[in-house]
Amino acid sequence: MTSELGRRIARRIAATGPMSIADFMAEALGHPTLGYYRRAMPLGTAGDFTTAPEISQMFGELLGAWLAERWQAIGRPAPVRLVELGPGRGTLMADALRATRGVAGFHDALDLHLVEVNAPLRVLQESALAAYTPTWHEALDAVPRGPLLLVANEFFDALPVRQFERTPQGWHERMVGLTPNGEHLVFALAPGPSPFARLLPETVRGGDLPAGTVAEVSVAAVDLAGRIAERLVKDGGWALIIDYGRDTSGTGATLQALRSHRSVDPLDRPGETDLTAHVDFATLAQAACTTGARVFGPTGQGTFLRRLGIERRAEILKARATPTQRSAIDAALLRLIDRDQMGTLFRVLAMGDDRSAAPAGFSDDT
């Protein structure tokens, strides 16, 4: 069984030939009318995945405190562009703003911008954040220039990736093609070495790797990280990127698909399935450093949240909670920080200008 978008992709491949995995992801997630992120309600138990802000208010509260401190560190500019990439239901930002109401001058300085392409989610965001009069955009480039505070939680993992496979002749790109009968999408290897393999990190591309080794790169992620960093250097500010991934560039195929919280074939029912890949934080950090931005991390989400005081926050919440609520707080805390759950797999990277003090959460001294 396929989807309407799957049939359209199949017709395109039949007419023009196999497409890159990056092009397939871009189409499956971002097609103007049939793309997954254009129309689906992906979050929550009825959706396909659950993010940290939906697990506990503590996550957004601590990120709010981090952002407020960064605003103070850059000289309390007014206005300051507060931006979230992929805000989901608006839960993270609502918790962050509720937690920072007591920071003198902070809310008066905020100019809230949400980068979101999903119309149903925009409705929920408007309900959650109406008091802060947000402005919505399709892309970061539409956000006005000026001092910037940005947060991106589980956003970079949905940006398209290219995949390459090492052969005796060089790196060949993995493509999406059709079965001989033209009825099903399949992964296939391009017949010759790809000029796009130069996009792989040199540490991977230049390694002595055996045939069959697969490597990924997200050009879109590297480009976006660089553009964020360029704005921070020029206009001042800080950004926080939180996602699952790895600290150093490596090999292996990480493209995965989720539907109803279960793993499925990435090529099954495009437009109805969430597609993600692990974030290569080393390439994001390098892109930021190239602009002159300062970079901190990546560090584990569990370590970062502990350094921000999540365990103390949990105790405060439990002090006025029922026994059932206390159990729920403990379970949420464990899920967010335990090394066997989100604590290690999820990484946190900060980037900022070269004019303000180092941020909290990235060493025992900050």
Report the number of distinct structural domains present in the chain: 1
Classify residue 77: in a domain, yes or no.
yes
Q: Is the pLDDT of residue 193 over 90?
A: yes
Residue 66 and residue 360 in contact, taking contact as beta carbons nearer than 8 Å: yes
Would you say 353 and 228 are in contact if contact means Cβ atoms under 8 Å apart? Answer: no
Q: Helix, strand or coil for residue 41? A: coil
Cα distance between residue 169 and residue 312, in whole Å: 56
State yes or no: pLDDT of 121 exceeds 50.
yes
Residue 228 lies in a domain: yes
Residue 43 has pLDDT above 60, yes or no: no
Q: Which run of H or of E encompasses 214?
A: strand 214-217
pLDDT band, residue 54 (cuts 50/70/90): confident
Per-residue model confidence (pLDDT) at position 363: 78
Identify which of 187, 259, 270, 257 has the alpha carbon closest to the alpha carbon of residue 1. 270
**Model pLDDT, residue 301:** 97
In a domain, 28, yes or no: no
CATH code at position 58: 3.40.50.150
Across the range 233-249, mean pLDDT stands at 96
pLDDT at 258 over 60: yes
Answer whether residue 5 is part of any domain.
no
Q: Is residue 189 part of a domain?
A: no
Q: Give SS3 for 30.
A: helix
Q: What is residue 1's predicted lDDT score, i.e. its pLDDT?
A: 55
Interval 310-349: pLDDT, tens: 999 999 999 999 999 999 999 999 999 999 999 899 999 9
Peptide bond into 42 cis (omega under 30): no
Domain membership of residue 307 as a residue range: 52-159+218-247+269-352
Asked whether residue 328 is assigned to any structural domain, the reply reads yes
Looking at residue 112, what is its pLDDT? 98
Which segment of 12-21, 34-43, 202-211 scores lowest on mean pLDDT?
A: 34-43
Predicted local distance difference test score (pLDDT) of residue 40? 64
Per-residue pLDDT at 50: 65
How much is the average pLDDT of 247-259?
92
Q: Which residue has the tokens 């900060």?
A: 350
The structure tokens 């080393």 sit at 282
| DSSP-derived secondary structure for 306-350 | HHHTHHHHHHHHHHTS-HHHHHHHHHHHHHHH-TTTHHHHEEEEE
- What is the structure's pLDDT at 42? 59
Is residue 263 assigned to a domain? no
Question: What number is the average pLDDT over the span 235-249?
Answer: 96
**157-168, pLDDT tens digit by residue?**
999 999 999 999
From CA 48, how far away is CA 42, in angstroms rounded? 5
pTM for the full predicted model = 0.93
Residue 179 falls within a domain, yes or no?
A: no
Element (H, E) at 366: none
CA–CA separation, 167 and 195 (whole Å): 14
Check whether 47 has a pLDDT greater than 80. no
